Amino acid sequence: MTPIHPVILSGGSGTRLWPLSRAALPKQLLPLASEFSLLQDTVSRLADMPETTAPLMVCNVEHRFMIAEQMRQIDVQPRAIVLEPVGRNTAPAIAVAALMLSRDDPDALMLVLPADHLIGDVPAFHAAIRTAAQVAQNGHLATFGIVAATPETGYGYIRKGAQLADGAGAFDVAKFVEKPDLATAQQYVDSDDYFWNSGMFLFRASDFLKELGALRPDILEASRAALDAAAPDLDFVRLDPVAFEACPSESVDYAVMEHTRRAAVVPADIAWNDIGAWSALWDVALKDEQGNAIRGDVMLENARNNFVRAEGRMVAMLGVSDLVVVETADVVLVANKDQVQDVKKLVDRLKAEKRCEHLVHKQVYRPWGWYEGIDEGERFQVKRIMVKPGEKLSLQMHHHRAEHWIVVSGTASVTCGEEVMLLTENQSTYIPLGTTHRLENPGKIDLHMIEVQSGTYLGEDDIVRFEDIYKRN
C-alpha cells in the first residue's frame, strides 16, 4: 500500500463569513457545520483511510496555537505544522510541503486539501482519492472535479478532455475556466463536460516540483530558500520571513495547473461545498418546515427560508423571508440571502476605517487560554480571563496602565515585582503601573479571573515582554 501524505492548507481568512469568521479566528477554525471546526472535520474524514499518514499542515503564524490545540482535541499529531510569516497563496505553500516531503521520499504522494471544505459523502471521497492516487503514480497532476449539479457562478470550472487510458474514469484537463455568468454556467452543466474546480489535488512531490521549476522557477527557488533557512519554534517549523516574503503570491492553478500538460481531472460526486458564503451554509443545513436554518436562541414567527445564527443573545424575527442574520457579542449582520457574497465589502470598509471588528471577537484566543472584554469607558476596561492548567502569560510590564486581578475560580500564581503569591477564589491583587508581572495557573482546573485595567492608554500593544514560553515578540 503506497502511503498518501495529506497536506492541509489553512491560510485563508474567510471574509465572506464575517462577522463569525475574522482574521484572528478564520472560518476553518470555527464549528460551522458540526460540533467540530472545519479544520478538524477535514483531518478527521481521512481517519478511516489506512493509506493516509499524519497530516502536514501549512498555516498562518498567528493561528499556530489554535491549530495545534484543535489537533490535540481530536487526538491527531501532525507530521509538521509549517508557519507562513505572510500569506503567499497556494503555490508557495504547496511547494514548501512538496520540498519537505521529498526529503524523505522524492516520489511521495501528496493529497492537498483546503482546510475549510464540507464533504457530505466521505466513502465517495475516499474512492476518488484512491483513483487520483493511481493517476498520480502514472505521472499526472490530479485535481478533483466536482460533478456540477447546478449552474453555480461562484466557482471556477474544469473542462474534461479525453479519458485517460491508465486512470479508472479520469480525464485529461482540456481547460480551466474562470467563474462564468449564469447562462454560461447553465451551458456547462447541460454539456456534462465541465466540473466545478474544487481546489483539491493529488500528485507526486517530484512531479509537482518538476513542473513548478519549469513554469515558475522563481516561486520554487523562493520557497526552497524559505524552507532551507527555516527555524524550529516549539513544535512548529517557522519559514524564513525574508525569503518567504520575497516569494511571488500565486495560486497553484495559475502557477502550474493551467499550464502543465500533465493535468488530469478525477470526477468527484461527494456532496462538496466550499462554504464560500452564508448562503452556502443555508444550503447544507437542516431546515424546519418553513425552510429556516437556525442555530442558537432563535424565535421565528411567519418567517421563511432564513438562515439565523445566534451566538449569545436571543434573535426574534417576524414576517421576514430570505434573510441571513448572524449575531455575535459585538456585531449583528442582517443581509438578503442573495447579497451575502458582498459581505467582503463590509470587511473592506472596516479595514479602511481602521476598526477592529474584522480582526478579533470580544473573546480573543491566546496560547494560554483566552480573554473577553466585558465593559469599557474613559480610562478603564474590564476583562474576563481564562488560563488553562499549567499555562502562564509572559513576564511583562505596561507603561500606561495599572491592573486589578480578582480570582473567580481556580488558583493563580502571581508574580508582582519581586513578590510571588498564590491567590484562590475571591482573592485579589493590584499590579501598579510599570511593575513587572506574570500570571500563571499552577492548578489542575481552568483559572477564571476578572481584570480591571485603568490608565491613560489601554491598547493591547502596551506590553513589554521580558520572557515568554510561547516565543512571541
Q: How confident is the model at residue 1 (pLDDT cuts 50, 70, 90)?
A: confident
Give whole-number Cα distances, 262 to 135, 173, 211, 227, 232, in Å. Answer: 10, 8, 9, 26, 35
Lowest mean pLDDT among 124-138, 181-195, 298-312: 181-195
User: What's the pLDDT at 37?
Assistant: 95
Find how far residue 392's CA is from the centre of its chain: 25
Give whole-number Cα distances, 228 to 95, 99, 224, 242, in Å. Answer: 13, 10, 6, 12
Locate 125 and state its grid cell: 471521497
Percent share of the chain, pLDDT over 70: 100
User: What's the pLDDT at 406?
Assistant: 97
Buried b (16+ CB within 10 A) or exposed e, 32-70: bbeebbbbbbbbebbeebebbbebbbbbbbebbbbbbeb
User: What's the pLDDT at 167?
Assistant: 64
Taking phi over 0 as left and psi of -120 to 50 as alpha, with beta for the rest, 391 belongs to beta
According to DSSP, the residues that pair with 300 across neighbouring strands are 317
Percent share of the chain, pLDDT over 90: 85
Locate 127 and state its grid cell: 474512492
Domain 363-467 has CATH 2.40.50.140: no
Close Cβ partners of 205 (under 8 Å, ≥ 6 residues apart): 98, 99, 101, 102, 105, 106, 107, 108, 109, 110
Give whole-number Cα distances, 319 to 212, 290, 301, in Å. Answer: 55, 12, 6
CB of 144 within 8 A of CB of 114? no
CB of 141 within 8 A of CB of 34? no
CB of 112 within 8 A of CB of 94? yes
CB of 402 within 8 A of CB of 454? yes
Strands of 70-133, DSSP E: 80-84, 109-114, 118-119
User: What's the pLDDT at 424?
Assistant: 96
Q: How far apart are CA 156 and CA 306, in angstroms?
A: 27
351-403 residue pLDDT tens: 999 999 999 898 888 999 999 999 999 999 999 999 999 999 999 999 999 99
Q: State the burial class of residue 104 (Cβ atoms within 10 Å of its Cβ: 0-12, 13-18, 19+).
A: exposed
363-467 has the same fold as 4-273: no
Q: How confident is the model at residue 473 (pLDDT cuts 50, 70, 90)?
A: low
H or E stretch covering 331: none
40-53 residue pLDDT tens: 999 999 999 999 99
**Rounded average pLDDT over 16-21:** 94
56-104 residue pLDDT tens: 999 999 899 999 999 999 999 999 999 999 999 999 999 999 999 999 9
Secondary structure of residue 64 in the 3-state scheme: helix
User: What's the pLDDT at 320?
Assistant: 98
Lowest mean pLDDT among 54-63, 174-183, 433-442: 174-183
Q: How confident is the model at residue 327 (pLDDT cuts 50, 70, 90)?
A: very high
**Domain ranges, ordered by start, for the chain:** 4-273, 278-344, 363-467
SS3 content of the chain, % helix, strand, coil (to 5): 25, 35, 40
Q: Mean pLDDT over all residues of the chain?
A: 94
CA atoms within 13 A on the CB side of 286: 3
Locate 323 and state its grid cell: 434573510
Secondary structure of residue 399 in the 3-state scheme: coil
User: What's the pLDDT at 10?
Assistant: 94
**Rounded average pLDDT over 186-210:** 93
398-425 residue pLDDT tens: 999 999 999 999 999 999 999 999 999 9
Sign of the alpha-carbon dihedral angle for 300, 306, 309, 315:
negative
User: What's the pLDDT at 168?
Assistant: 74
Looking only at the bridges linking them, the beta strands covering 236-238 and 171-177 are unpaired
Q: Nearest 5°: CA angle at 338, between 335 and 341?
A: 80
CATH number for the region 4-273 comes to: 3.90.550.10
Give whole-number Cα distances, 171 to 161, 298, 358, in Å. Answer: 6, 47, 42
136-179 residue pLDDT tens: 999 999 999 999 888 888 889 999 999 998 767 899 999 999 88
Is the model's pLDDT at 272 over the cut of 80? yes
Q: Which carries the bigger pLDDT value, residue 15 or residue 413?
A: 413
